[in-house]
Amino acid sequence: MSDFLELIKSRNPGEPEFHQAAEEVIETVAPVLDKQSKYRKHKILERMLEPERLISFRVTWMDDNNEVQVNRGYRVQMNGAIGPYKGGLRFHPSVYPGILKFLAFEQTFKNALTGLPLGGGKGGADFNPKGKTEEEVMRFCQSFYAELIKYVGHRIDVPAGDIGVGGREIGYMFGMHKKLSSQFTGALTGKGVGWGGSLMRTEATGYGLVYFAQNMLATKDDDFKNKICLVSGSGNVAQHAIEKILHLGGKPVTASDSSGFIYDEEGIDHKKLAFIKDLKNNKRGRIKEYVQKYPSATYHDTKRSDEANALWNIEAQCAFPCATQNELNRKDAENLVTNGIQLIGEGANMPLTAEAIEHVIDNDVLYSPGKASNAGGVATSGIEMMQNYTGSYLTSEEVDNRLKGIMKGIHDDCLRAAETYGFQGNYMAGANIAGFIKVADAMIAQGII
Ligand code: NDP
Ligand code: 2IT
């Protein structure tokens, strides 16, 4: 298997995030390949690690000073074996093919785990929405989508949000889709509930993450009551993770952005959360402003990514990294373990480095990989697609109940697959194996294509 990883590295040079995501899967599915020769015979892993299509395009737009701006847009259509490509769009200056390939690869497994007919994809642009005016964001989204529309559609590939892409950006892109196609179809998910969106999609990733953690705690006859919870990020996933922790009686004490984090020892309650939502979603401010409003909290600047982050050195029972990839390193994992952490649930995609994962698993922490525990977002996107196809809409309660059921299903499938292949209690191995088998069997059934 190490030769195979070297081959993947040499075929995809300069893409460390993709290598990292690939290595984790290659290592954990090895026993499946050893047991079932058909997967090697059909070169399933080789095929899964090669995007079916990688589209790269120029995005040209005019800023408010009438200067021409040029960005790069992408869509990675990774694997369409079990359904139309599905996955978010990320607008962030760090976006390049290596990040999108890691995200699209993980998305393929995640979407399979939901039990819904969704293939894996991801896209985005190296556009930085920070500091841009409303009009600039709109013009960028319109120009980006005017090109992307050539490759997507409600039965082909259905994008949604991710970092830097929320309801506002989906609105501008959906407007462009309608204008260019003359059709009102569910071409994107995360739409407003008044125009084809699903109730609960906004909440789904964060809520689903906490439902998944609730299932993990239940295996130890435990629950969220009075558990101190560390959350990083302050965007869509973090906000709704904090909200659901509160619903279940836990005590969230942190939130962050790329500049730093706040620590509120008294706990972030519903009122304080409403302040964070308004600050980040409407005012587009920085998390630092929380301490001006609530002086009992403290603010800490972010350290370099190879140093320990003081956020993960606060004593707590649960930790939910909900910002970005590789935000929690080996040193952070050591600090969490030393302070007695019981559970780490990934809300972001690949927030723990490989060394951090190894350390927490070795120390018997309940640990869930993002491809399992953040699947509630895409699952609810799948539910949005079904509502768009049929034209009939569900209540919040109905969507929430489906979400709970799907998260429980993923939880149980991970444990079952892990046990079958000798990784008892290892959710990471279980998620990789269960997702792999589902996609692999579909690929074999559909022939060498
Ligand atoms: P948002 O854009 O709403 O929020 C992102 C948050 O993470 C912000 O607080 C942002 O801070 C912070 N952040 C972003 N990049 C960095 C960085 N390089 N270093 C430190 N902090 C950073 O995105 P989401 O909440 O939607 O996404 C968060 C994570 O969850 C991502 O990993 C995403 O892939 C994943 N995810 C999202 C889903 C969804 O439905 N939205 C579904 C499943 C996973 P700042 O404002 O300073 O940039
Ligand atoms: O990483 C993810 O699962 C997402 N950003 C959500 C994808 C989706 O299509 O809802």
Mean pLDDT of 398-419: 98
User: 262 CB less than 6 Å from ligand 1?
Assistant: no
pLDDT in tens, 419-439: 999 999 999 999 999 999 999
% of the chain exceeding 90 in pLDDT: 98
Q: What local confidence, expressed as pLDDT, does residue 82 receive? A: 98
What is the DSSP track for 135-171?
HHHHHHHHHHHHHHTTT-BTTTEEEE-BTTB-HHHHH
Query: Taking Cα atoms as reference points, which of 125, 80, 132, 128 lies closest to residue 107?
Result: 80
Residue nearest to atom 46 of ligand 1 (CA): 257
pLDDT in tens, 143-156: 999 999 999 999 99
Q: What's the half-sphere exposure (Cβ side, CA atoms, 13 Å) at 169?
A: 27
Q: What local confidence, expressed as pLDDT, does residue 2 receive? A: 83
What's the rounded Cα separation, in Å, for the pair 107 and 131?
29
Residue nearest to atom 20 of ligand 1 (CA): 258
Q: What local confidence, expressed as pLDDT, does residue 413 receive? A: 98
User: 114 CB less than 6 Å from ligand 2?
Assistant: no
User: 86 CB less than 6 Å from ligand 2?
Assistant: yes
- From the alpha carbon of 86, which atom of ligand 2 is closest? 9
Task: Pick the ligand that lies closest to the CA of residue 168.
Answer: 1
Query: Taking Cα atoms as reference points, which of 89, 62, 92 lies closest to residue 74?
Result: 89
345 — phi, psi (to 5°)? -115, 120
% of the chain exceeding 70 in pLDDT: 100
What's the rounded Cα separation, in Å, for the pair 431 and 71?
35
Distance 233 CA to ligand 1 centre (A): 6
Q: 368 in helix, strand or coil? A: strand
What is the DSSP track for 262-316?
EE-TT---HHHHHHHHIIIIIS---TTHHHHH-TTSEEEE---TTSPPGGGGS--
Query: Taking Cα atoms as reference points, which of 186, 179, 160 lies closest to residue 91?
Result: 160
Q: How confident is the model at residue 42 (pLDDT cuts 50, 70, 90)?
A: very high
Is 263 within 8 Å of 286 (Cβ atoms)? no
Q: What's the half-sphere exposure (Cβ side, CA atoms, 13 Å) at 296?
A: 7
CA distances from 84 to 81, 151, 155, 168 (A): 8, 12, 6, 24
Q: How confident is the model at residue 305 (pLDDT cuts 50, 70, 90)?
A: confident
Does pLDDT of 123 surpass 90?
Answer: yes
Task: Pick the ligand that lies closest to the CA of residue 108.
Answer: 2
Q: Beta strand pairing status for 85-91 and 119-125?
A: parallel
What's the rounded Cα separation, in Å, for the pair 169 and 157?
17
User: 164 CB less than 6 Å from ligand 1?
Assistant: yes
Q: What local confidence, expressed as pLDDT, does residue 145 receive? A: 98
Query: Taking Cα atoms as reference points, which of 200, 287, 294 lies closest to residue 240?
Result: 200
Helix 330-338 × helix 354-362 angle, to 10°: 20
pLDDT in tens, 201-250: 999 999 999 999 999 999 999 999 999 999 999 999 999 999 999 999 99
User: 165 CB less than 6 Å from ligand 2?
Assistant: no
Token pair recorded at residue 255: 């939130």
Mean pLDDT of the chain: 98
Residue nearest to atom 4 of ligand 2 (CA): 88
Q: Beta strand pairing status for 157-160 and 228-232?
A: unpaired
Give 158's contacts (C-beta < 8 A, 6+ positions apart). Answer: 84, 85, 86, 152, 186, 187, 188, 189, 381, 385
Does pLDDT of 175 surpass 90?
Answer: yes
Q: What local confidence, expressed as pLDDT, does residue 304 receive? A: 73
What's the rounded Cα separation, in Å, for the pair 435 and 442?
11
Is 189 within 8 Å of 160 (Cβ atoms)? yes
Task: Pick the ligand that lies closest to the CA of residue 91.
Answer: 1
Does pLDDT of 1 surpass 90?
Answer: no
Q: What local confidence, expressed as pLDDT, does residue 46 receive? A: 97
Mean pLDDT of 159-163: 98
pTM of whole model > 0.95? yes
Amino acid occupying residue 194? G
Query: Taking Cα atoms as reference points, which of 203, 102, 108 lies closest to residue 161?
Result: 203
pLDDT in tens, 265-279: 999 999 999 999 999
Mean pLDDT of 386-391: 98
Tally the residues of the chain: 449
Query: Taking Cα atoms as reference points, which of 245, 178, 168 lies closest to residue 212?
Result: 245
Q: Beta strand pairing status for 68-79 and 119-125?
A: antiparallel
Q: 123 in helix, strand or coil? A: strand
Does pLDDT of 306 surpass 80?
Answer: no
Q: What local confidence, expressed as pLDDT, does residue 392 receive? A: 97
pLDDT in tens, 58-108: 999 999 999 999 999 999 999 999 999 999 999 999 999 999 999 999 999
User: 377 CB less than 6 Å from ligand 2?
Assistant: yes
Q: What's the half-sphere exposure (Cβ side, CA atoms, 13 Å) at 160?
A: 31
Q: What local confidence, expressed as pLDDT, does residue 375 receive? A: 99
Mutating to test ligand 1, I would choose from 109, 188, 236 the residue with most ligand atoms within 8 A of its C-beta, which is 236
Does pLDDT of 34 surpass 90?
Answer: yes
Cβ-count burial 430-441 (b if 16+ within 10 Å, e if not): bbbbbbbbbbbb
Query: Taking Cα atoms as reference points, which of 158, 317, 152, 168 lies closest to residue 236?
Result: 168
* Sign of the alpha-carbon torsion through 206, 207, 208, 210: positive
H or E segment and range at residue 407:
helix 396-420
Q: What local confidence, expressed as pLDDT, does residue 303 receive? A: 74
Give me the domains of the chain, ranges plus CATH numbers: 51-185 (3.40.50.10860), 203-373 (3.40.50.720)
What's the rounded Cα separation, in Å, for the pair 444 and 449?
9
The owner of tokens 């058909």 is: 38
Annotated catalytic residues are 122
What's the rounded Cα separation, in Å, for the pair 289 and 270?
17
Q: 69 in helix, strand or coil? A: strand
